[in-house]
Amino acid sequence: MKIGIDKIGFYTPHLYVDMNELAVARDIDPGKFTVGIGQEKMAIAPITQDSVTLAANAALEILDEEDKDKIDFVIFGTETGVDSSKSAGVYVHELLGLNPQARTIEVKQACYGATAGIQMAKGHIALNPESKVLVLGSDIARYGLNTSGEATQGAGAVALLMSADPTIMALEDKSAYFTSDIMDFWRPVYSDKAFVDGKLSNEQYIAFFSKVWGQFKEKSGLGLKDFDAICYHLPYTKMGLKALRTIWDEGSDNDKERLEENYTFSAKYNRIVGNIYTGSLYLSVLSLLENKEDLKAGSRIGLFSYGSGAVGEFFTGILQPNYRDHLYVDNHTELFQSRTAVSVSEYEETYEDTLPMDGSTMELDIDNDPATICLAGITADQRQYVNKRNK
């Protein structure tokens, strides 16, 4: 039985800052951000969006009534959840009106969470072929103003509907994974900003890629020539390219040309969104499928997932016949075109805009946020979510 990705939804907030402007404000040569790191725009989440609303908005565009009825497992991958106890998925389950006969959990391992969700979903569907699983990867990447990580922030969510006989991508069986305790990136429970050893995280990303790629080749007998594209977790778009270039010499000139060209397509969306942590790899897959119009059914795509701390995994999927008919390209074109650029000082204000932590009530103005699902405020330490379609 084939199991894999049946639909892919995406959402990013309506605000962004231009990386050239951020560089100028920080007295840095813009080339460092646009070429050295490879980022053009960075999505900014207003206070009315959090990891719950981003995920719910991403899922909203893809689910029909039959999906809502058949989803019996919601797996929410995030490292910027809103509660240390209650799963962010339970809020999304309610906001989307899913069938109550479902399991719902939150999964955490830095940017690896959504991949863990996908692998769990695969096992669940193998045992329950009629079921559909909603896997969400949603985060707001925050490193702090004026830090070296600042240029690698972003915000957004990817929603993946997993099923048997998927319309977009069937996952293959072989997968290689690796865990090692490394302090390259972490966020203690008392901090709303990540702590990072940037150089170490770059090194470990490459080291983990090398380990799982080597293991994967041994397990599968496949090599570079068997891949039409490899998609990477993209904290910034230069990172995946650096990893790809470490295995360059294993391929022919044709392989290099094909993989480099497809890499460019797979990084297009990430370049104008920024790091969305656990959804980042799947935003890259979406970017490839929606922007590279002549990628044929039957193409094999490699996926490298890396979650600092650290866990890495390499696995593969095969594109299904007529997969392009099941993408939401127009929605995403419209989403990007309708965004508003903010100045660096507006971005800084938005960054500092946070909810009270003393139990007091705050009502938020959701009329300025074009998203269908918004955070409308907080009262008695409980976040108040609104689906404008139900108002």
Residue positions annotated with a catalytic role: 79, 111, 233
Supply the minimum distance, in Å, between the C-beta of residue 296 and ligand COA. Answer: 31
- Residues pairing with 304 in the sheet: 232, 314
Closer CB to ligand COA, residue 196 or residue 335?
196
Supply the minimum distance, in Å, between the C-beta of residue 333 and ligand COA. Answer: 27
CA 175 to chain centroid, in Å, comes to 20
Closer CB to ligand COA, residue 54 or residue 239?
239
Q: Which residues bind ligand COA (CB under 6 A)?
A: 29, 31-32, 35-37, 148-149, 151-152, 196, 198, 201-202, 205, 235-236, 239, 308
Supply the minimum distance, in Å, between the C-beta of residue 368 and ligand COA. Answer: 30
CA 133 to chain centroid, in Å, comes to 17
**Distance linking the first and last C-alpha atoms of the chain:** 42
Closer CB to ligand COA, residue 73 or residue 185?
185
Amino acid, res. 223: G
Residue nearest to ligand COA (CB): 36
Amino acid, res. 367: D
**For residue 188, how many other CB atoms are within 10 A of its CB?**
8
In whole angstroms, give the CA distance from residue 283 to residue 317: 15
In whole angstroms, give the CA distance from residue 280 to residue 79: 12
**For residue 166, how many other CB atoms are within 10 A of its CB?**
24
Closer CB to ligand COA, residue 236 or residue 323?
236
Cβ atoms 30, 19 nearer than 8 A: yes
Supply the minimum distance, in Å, between the C-beta of residue 126 and ligand COA. Answer: 31
In whole angstroms, give the CA distance from residue 42 to residue 45: 10
DSSP state of 115: H
Supply the minimum distance, in Å, between the C-beta of residue 207 and ligand COA. Answer: 11
Block residue for tokens 């979650």: 307
Closer CB to ligand COA, residue 89 or residue 312?
312
Of the candidates 294, 315, 293, the residue with the CA atom closest to the CA atom of residue 175: 315
Closer CB to ligand COA, residue 148 or residue 340?
148
Amino acid, res. 340: T
- Helix H, strand E, coil C: the string for 195-214 is EECHHHHHHHHHHHHHHHHH
Supply the minimum distance, in Å, between the C-beta of residue 295 and ligand COA. Answer: 26
> Buried (b) or exposed (e) across 204-226, using 16+ Cβ within 10 A?
bbbbbbebbbebbbeebeeebee
